[in-house]
Structure 1
Amino acid sequence: MTSDTILRVAARGDGVTADGRHAAFAAPGDSLHADGTLSHGPHHQTPPCRHFPECGGCQLQHLDDEAYAAFVTDRVASALAGQELAADLRAPLVSPPDTRRRATLHAEAKGGRILLGFTAEKSHAIVDLRECHVLAPALFAIVAPLRGLLQSLGFRRRGDVHLTLADQGLDVMVSNLTADGLDAAEAITAFCERHGVARFTIDGGYGLETRWEPRPVTITLGGQPVPLPPASFLQATQEGEDALVAAMREATQGAGTIADLFAGLGTFSLALPARVYAAEGARDALAALKAAAGRAQLPVFTEHRDLYRRPLTVAELDRFDAIVIDPPRAGARDQAEALAACQAKVIGYVSCNPSSFARDARLLVDGGWRIDWVQPVGQFRWSTHVELAARFVR
């Protein structure tokens, strides 16, 4: 390799040469010339989508499968190296194209028409989606009809459109939409009937208002139907969820009692074969988990608890054989400090941010823990967003 050869892709998506030069939209094996132009190598593919690279939904469609998988792994390895840590990194699990089951799009009335799509890279401008290679087909199929509905309802303010594939079909929530009167109600009902929508919710600024839900909407987690609050957090793909759940089941195998921290709707609580204590700060998610566990008579015990303001103490953590933690992107520094001092046998850590994970892992390692293994997961195909699951042991 010469000094002008792209060796890897950095965290923000730029290709990097051996001498530290960066180049946008470069793949490993490309050559970066003195004038800044690129000659494409064997790992540079033709991006499949017409909106690339304008659309901010993807940053890495120019990488072939091998190079993208390598990026997912390197993203985790680089974050750990930044904390002077190393670990056994397993082969990455990357979700296929066309499998995203939840997404937040943005809508805006502009020039007499409705724009609906992701925002452009590093911009608030909306890329009006005409094709998409990451959304599940059922999600993308509703985009064009939804433009027409919003147009007919007189949508004027910029808002968000939350789309989720639930057990019963498509769940839609639109913010900054008012739909008053009989004509609006009939238009929403006709739209939902025509397109098989499971639920349609609006928020005109006074809270959520469900306009259509012929059957209670659920999402199956751990084999159990869980009531699904509108716009709830859910793992982005079924393949990603399966990978993370399998990792946590493996990490905690043999544990009789498990604490599930930042439990959400119960992605892990409902799938772990043990007595589970589930702590979650969002009341609607916790109520859904409690209802599902109660209906199935599972030994899941819930507590409404803000783990940033009131993390579990060392004494509380010591009651459990194993801990599972899945914090937001910021990680869980205060909770990690208590975990570092606890006497649980194992910790399973799920993260959507390798950098905050590595920071928390440093605290655990300094407290006497060892990283047993790390499973990189690429749920957000062709994006720089990387997730992982890890097992810590004493």
Structure 2
Amino acid sequence: MSEGSEIVGIAARGDGIASDGRHQPLTAPGDRLRADGGITRGPHHREPPCRHFPECGGCTLQHLDDASYATYLHDRVASALAQHGLSTEIRAPILSPPKTRRRATLHAERRGRQVLLGFTESKSHRLVDVYQCEILHPDLFALLQPLRGLLAAMLPRSRRADIHLTLADQGADILIKGVEADGLANAEALTSFAARHNLARLTIDEGLGPEPRWEPDPVTVTLGGVPVALPPGAFLQATQEGQDALSSAARGICEGAATVADLFAGLGTLSLIHAPKTKVYAAEASRDAVMSLKAAANAAQRPVFTDHRDLYRRPLTVEELNRFDAVILDPPRAGAQEQMRNLADAMPRIAYISCNPSTFSRDAAILCEGGYMLEWVQPVGQFRWSTHVELATSFRRQSSE
């Protein structure tokens, strides 16, 4: 490696890219690689705030300042688009602040008498026992040490348990998967733990499905001003700030639409953001999510028609799509390639929300080939200091004139 090579960018997986083309982990733009193998830090290299960095895989880019992290998210999007011959306005990324993650999955395992609870190492299955976290909401992080005590009596020695933490309207919601909690002693321990820490709900999944053991009041999450029942372990945007950014973008794209289709609707994050009289069709494959959204919309007297529908096996047809003024899509990481083919022949404006720039760009190319214009992309960094980037995007049918 040449002496004085400068880090000029960050690769997709987080390594620094030197001016001679080589990759160097844990470097920031402006760092210089010395001939002795050391690194001279540049103006964008910050001191990571967490003592578990870089071993913990919860964050991989804590050594970047906000400016270079935002540039990284921008470049991820631009690179993915370029691979499909696309370009457009890429807006300044919206970053969620530290300690705002309201949903996370941690792992627990026993080592001798000790219970380890945390995230796995980057590119490894080894568990890091977390005693500091700069991404989790403080109300969730405060439960980690008490959870170690609770799990000490019921954690199996031969396998790892998963701990799903979510902040609901009523407080912390915990789902523990992979433990056996039969018997009076375990029941009393769970009840005592939940009451002592004012949990909204405590659920155990021994392998046959979630079974709530503590839920004083029905657990909800407020979406678009409407409280929606939250099934245990249900998907929720990782931060409130990230949800607000994505919702604001989708609402702006659909402004003025009398009828909207929300595809891959989940609990209704993007179904309930519209004017109260907007007619919304919400399609989702998860039955629990569909039932929660239907009940919430009915209670709030919102004109939302829910459809329990697997859009991978049965995407909306062109005829169905043309009944709507606007379509919102928020598919899983695999994207929505089959649905794109029908959308490319339809006429509504489109708001596409994505958690994967690569599959989004593939889908976007199908729409653009069908006559749509990609107006802009709004990156959203709600998984702070990770290589994960969310997108909100706007498509409009190009004029035939």
Structure 2 length as normaliser, TM-score? 0.96
**C-alpha contact (below 8 Å) 1:3/1:19 kept by paired residues:** no
Q: Number of matched residues? A: 392
**1:275 & 1:35 partners in 2: Cα distance?**
65
Find the counterpart in structure 2 of residue 162 from structure 1. 164
Task: Tell me by how many angstroms 1:68 deviates.
Answer: 0.8
**2:331 & 2:64 partners in 1: Cα distance?**
29
State the SS of the aligned residue for 1:294. helix
Q: Which runs of 5+ in 2 are unaligned?
A: none
Residue 99 of structure 2 corresponds to residue 95 of structure 1: no
- 145-154 or 213-222, which moves further after superposition? 145-154
Find the counterpart in structure 1 of residue 331 from structure 2. 327
**2:268 & 2:146 partners in 1: Cα distance?**
33
Task: Tell me by how many angstroms 1:150 deviates.
Answer: 0.5
State the SS of the aligned residue for 1:341. coil
Structure 2 matches for 1:291-370, cutoff 5 A? 291-344=295-348, 346-370=349-373
Listed one character per residue, the Cα deviations across residues 114-141 of structure 1 (whole Å, up to 9, x for unaligned) are 1110111111111111000000001100
State the SS of the aligned residue for 1:287. helix
Residue of 230, 233, 239 corresponding to 2:232 = 230
Task: Tell me by how many angstroms 1:70 deviates.
Answer: 1.0
**1:32 & 1:254 partners in 2: Cα distance?**
54
Task: Tell me by how many angstroms 1:39 deviates.
Answer: 1.3
**2:23 & 2:4 partners in 1: Cα distance?**
12
One-letter amino acid of the structure 1 residue matched with residue 188 of structure 2: E
Find the counterpart in structure 2 of residue 18 from structure 1. 19
Find the counterpart in structure 1 of residue 196 from structure 2. 194
**2:338 & 2:262 partners in 1: Cα distance?**
16
State the SS of the aligned residue for 1:118. strand
**1:115 & 1:272 partners in 2: Cα distance?**
44
- 126-135 or 72-81, which moves further after superposition? 72-81
Residue 386 of structure 2 corresponds to residue 383 of structure 1: yes
- 384-393 or 3-12, which moves further after superposition? 3-12
Find the counterpart in structure 2 of residue 180 from structure 1. 182
One-letter amino acid of the structure 2 residue matched with residue 283 of structure 1: R
**C-alpha contact (below 8 Å) 2:202/2:213 kept by paired residues:** yes
**C-alpha contact (below 8 Å) 1:23/1:36 kept by paired residues:** no
One-letter amino acid of the structure 1 residue matched with residue 386 of structure 2: S
Find the counterpart in structure 2 of residue 137 from structure 1. 138
Task: Tell me by how many angstroms 1:17 deviates.
Answer: 2.3
**1:206 & 1:124 partners in 2: Cα distance?**
25
Listed one character per residue, the Cα deviations across residues 166-224 of structure 1 (whole Å, up to 9, x for unaligned) are 00010000011111111111111110111111101111112211110011100000000
Residue of 202, 207, 210 corresponding to 1:208 = 210
Residue 81 of structure 2 corresponds to residue 80 of structure 1: yes
Structure 2 matches for 1:275-290, cutoff 5 A? 275-290=279-294
Find the counterpart in structure 1 of residue 258 from structure 2. 256
Listed one character per residue, the Cα deviations across residues 273-317 of structure 1 (whole Å, up to 9, x for unaligned) are 221000000000111000100000101001000011111111111
Task: Tell me by how many angstroms 1:154 deviates.
Answer: 4.7
Task: Tell me by how many angstroms 1:165 deviates.
Answer: 0.2
- 18-27 or 240-249, which moves further after superposition? 18-27
Structure 1 length as normaliser, TM-score? 0.98
Structure 1 residues 254 and 5: CA distance shift in structure 2, 3 A: same
**C-alpha contact (below 8 Å) 2:352/2:393 kept by paired residues:** yes
**2:310 & 2:319 partners in 1: Cα distance?**
18
State the SS of the aligned residue for 2:128. coil
Structure 1 residues 154 and 255: CA distance shift in structure 2, 3 A: closer
**1:291 & 1:176 partners in 2: Cα distance?**
30
Structure 1 residues 339 and 200: CA distance shift in structure 2, 3 A: same
State the SS of the aligned residue for 1:337. helix
Q: Which runs of 5+ in 1 are unaligned?
A: none
Structure 2 matches for 1:44-123, cutoff 5 A? 44-123=45-124
